[in-house]
Amino acid sequence: MTDAKLWREVDRARLVRLCAAMTGDRGAADDLVQETLLEAWRIRHRLHQSEGFEQWLAAIARNVCRRWARQRGRELATAPLDAVMTTEPRDATDLEAELERAEMAALVDAALGRIPAATRETMRARYLEDRTVTDVARRQGTTPDAVSMRLARGKTALRRLLKGELRDEAESLDLTVPPANDWVHTRVHCSQCGFGTLLMRIEPAPGSVAFRCARCDPSPLARAVEFPLANPAFARLLDGLVRPTAILRRADAWSHAYYAAGMDTGHVACTTCGMPLPLQAYERNDLPAGLHRRGLYADCPDCGLQVSTSVSALTLALPEAQAFRRRHPRLRARPPREVDAHGAPAIVVGFEAIGGTARLEALFAADSLRLLEVHGPSLTAA
């Protein structure tokens, strides 16, 4: 990309805010921006769409800041987006998510730029513009079979690139497909201990997608979180996802909507046949006292399927908890407390930020686990 106008209109102040927010060092931000722009100029031939210029620069800035942090033995900081970037798209919720999108866009652009032009345009039309194979064939004056063959070859080429030339970039975004049935490391911190990172295992259906923390429980048989793919709802929900952050975010959104409605009505719909099922609280005495000992479940007598969630997962799926985790990616669980709330027994489930004093607490009715209140600093944040 050689459009000089783009380079003249670079929003340097925006890049300075980005680098300062990521590194926590305002004094280093100017130098990091200069390094970002020099690197971007050296690899300008990799940018193929001017519309993605700002996202491309943001991705390069992230990599420059990562190198800076590694050299100094530091971790990149995260911060609320609206505190450092006031010109970003309105649907962006935090700096980490925006940078992740920027890096993803840059990687996709880099990968597509390395495959033949005809294949690239076919893949853009099919996957980025969401056109049907028939529509793509008609527009390109060819047959649907020819389009399908071109798409298959393009996907093969992309997989080869993500495993080879672009492997480092793909792994940094958790985009490489993990080997089936193997536990693989992720960059997601365990929300129970706050120090370990999660291992992920994806088994082909009717297996499951599972996560565990080796620090909390070193046994390969342990499952901190598990989504059985024999359940068609989970199979549809997680279809095609391999990135742990994408899997967990989508599962959290589904879980909150599903169980929140169930706690209001006392019933949930079977995820297979749709039959209304009573939502019941459980307490497992075979587990040590803690956040996973109590939760909710529903059994379908017709399908034989069960859905369940722990009180820990219920809390972490709350929108308030999601906002809290964006501000504080490293959390640890506090021991649950039994209290009296409004004259009835209740349970307090809490999480606190590692290296800080911020805390989020949810109050549940002890008998039904109905959510009563949520308290935390993130509730007053935009």
Write the pLDDT tens digit of every residue in 303-329: 888 888 999 999 999 999 988 888 888
Report the pLDDT value the prediction gives residue 211, as an integer from 0 to 100. 93
In this prediction, residues 245-258 reach a mean pLDDT of 90
318: amino acid identity, one letter: L
Pairwise CA distance, residues 174 & 6, whole Å: 30
Report the pLDDT value the prediction gives residue 277, as an integer from 0 to 100. 93
Which pLDDT band holds residue 352 (cuts at 50, 70, 90)?
very high
Which H or E run contains 344? Answer: strand 344-353
Check whether 284 has a pLDDT greater than 90.
no
Report the pLDDT value the prediction gives residue 84, as an integer from 0 to 100. 35
Write the pLDDT tens digit of every residue in 1-30: 445 566 666 777 778 888 887 777 777 888
Which pLDDT band holds residue 278 (cuts at 50, 70, 90)?
very high
What is the DSSP code string of 288-307?
Answer: -SSTTSEEEEEE-TTT--EE
Which pLDDT band holds residue 92 (cuts at 50, 70, 90)?
very low
Does pTM surpass 0.75? no
267: amino acid identity, one letter: H
Which pLDDT band holds residue 237 (cuts at 50, 70, 90)?
confident
3-state secondary structure of 2: coil
Pairwise CA distance, residues 37 & 259, whole Å: 48
Beta-ladder partners of 265: none
Pairwise CA distance, residues 380 & 382, whole Å: 7
Write the pLDDT tens digit of every residue in 165-217: 666 666 555 555 555 567 888 888 899 998 889 999 888 777 889 999 988 88
Check whether 239 has a pLDDT greater than 90.
no
Check whether 79 has a pLDDT greater than 50.
no
Pairwise CA distance, residues 164 & 20, whole Å: 32
Write the pLDDT tens digit of every residue in 111-156: 777 788 888 888 878 766 667 888 889 999 998 888 888 887 877 7
Pairwise CA distance, residues 193 & 181, whole Å: 25
